[in-house]
Structure 1
Amino acid sequence: MPHRDRPDDKRVLVIGLGRFGSSLALELVNRGWEVLGLDSNPRLVQTYADALTHTVVADVTDEEALKQIGAAQYARAVVAIGSHLEESILATSLLVDMGVPSIWAKATNRRHGRILEQVGADHVVLPEHDMGERVAHLLSGRMLDYVVLDAGFALGKTRAPRSLLGRTLRETRVRQQYGITVVSVKRVGASFTYATQETVLHKGDVIVVAGRTDDVERFAEST
């Protein structure tokens, strides 16, 4: 029987040891996770055999092969296959049928992502698309960092604009003026801390703001 999705179960199945899958698997191992890496390419499996907890050469589109390695016993699985859409979709579908509670899947485009969601993936990531969108925002604007949290909603890191300096956030009415919320602030030489309505911004402060994507971009352009 498959395990429940328990927060203390730090085991994960990673299917596909290409650039994305191997990078993810190695980082999880560094964070103390037990990782079983699967790939149909013996060379890739051999490359990461010493770095990952377990590695297996397997046809991940073969239900019997997944059963033999105990895929159903994992609470979390990542389908990191990108270049072969059919294999990606079939592997995801098989994991769903086996009752794996939490399945993450890599998509190469939005159409691929919609199909993965339709077959039952709990989380779909588009690393190339998301990174391209993030870099575009950083290159074209004044943001120091940018993260999309959901469709139409984002976090942006930028320098405090001159118009907000020397007054409390309550007094600046920044939410009414720009439609964003200042959630944290970093003083020069200090670490980030939570922002409140009584926070006063100073020259050189770096702030993190949250709001609709258009509002975050508009605010960053005002700095």
Structure 2
Amino acid sequence: MLVIGLGRFGSSLAMELMTHGWEVLGLDSNPRLVQAYAETLTHTVTADSTDDEALRQIGANEFTRAVVAIGSHLEESILTTSLLVDMGVPHIWGKAISRRHGRILQQIGCHHVVLPEHDMGERVAHLVSGRMLDYVEIEQDFALGKTRAPREIIGRKLGETGVRSSHGITVVCIKRHGEQFTYATAETVPKKGDIVIVAGRTNDVERFAELN
């Protein structure tokens, strides 16, 4: 895996990939950052990622997956991504600092765009403003929400509660006190204090969490 940009996001991502068994080549134009992660990552190199020849010298064109974790310097982010696209790297992830930045990355051929600051802000906003214990947006207007089982489904089989027709959500997992999460079925009977994970349109997930 090639990770370009060893700032907070890039370095955290690179180290997490290492814990999952990936070999990671970390690249940055800042020698201090490269040195800081020289002992942590599989390989590190100081190079200008906007230089086509420099990328080819490190074998960037031979990687099947690359992450452009340059967020604050838009020109570098866009040029680097464009070079990787031209090299034919089949899976490119790009960090964007705004939706406009993300659209540009997609337009030049970036396969996956992430907006970590925006996504985290959106997630925290849902947690602070509602009764959800956790929240993850899978794609635009579809989310997973973690919340306590509301009173109306407690003591009843999920298949008999009609939550899908009445609230537009599906209870996919359930967790009892002292136990691990397990898949929910139509025969599952939630108890008071149970934690459930529900899936559905964002507004429906929010409204379901508010039933508490």
Equivalent residue number for residue 35 of structure 1: 24
Equivalent residue number for residue 89 of structure 1: 78
1:196 aligns with 2:185: yes
Q: In structure 1, what is the Cα distance between the partners aligned to 2:126 and 2:89?
A: 36
Give deviations 1:85-135, integer Å, cap 9, x for gaps.
000001001000001010000000000000000011110000000000000
Give the superposition deviation at 1:170: 1.4
Q: How does 1:2-17 map to 2 (within 5 A)?
A: 12-17=1-6
Equivalent residue number for residue 124 of structure 2: 135
1:22 aligns with 2:16: no
| AA of the residue aligned to 2:75 | E
**Corresponding residue pairs, total:** 212
1:151 aligns with 2:140: yes
1:205 aligns with 2:194: yes
Secondary structure, counterpart of 2:24 in structure 1: strand
Q: How does 1:41-190 map to 2 (within 5 A)?
A: 41-190=30-179
| AA of the residue aligned to 1:219 | F
Secondary structure, counterpart of 1:64 in structure 2: helix
TM-score when normalising by structure 2: 0.99
Give deviations 1:147-191, integer Å, cap 9, x for gaps.
000100000000000111111011111111100000010011111
Give deviations 1:37-84, integer Å, cap 9, x for gaps.
000000100110110000000000000000000001111000000110
TM-score when normalising by structure 1: 0.94
**Runs (4+) off by over 3 Å:** none
Secondary structure, counterpart of 2:2 in structure 1: strand
Show structure 1 runs of 5+ residues with no match: 1-11
Q: In structure 1, what is the Cα distance between the partners aligned to 2:17 and 2:92?
A: 16
| AA of the residue aligned to 1:41 | N
Q: In structure 2, what is the Cα distance between the partners aligned to 1:22 and 1:61?
A: 19
Show structure 2 runs of 5+ residues with no match: none
Identity of aligned residues (%): 75
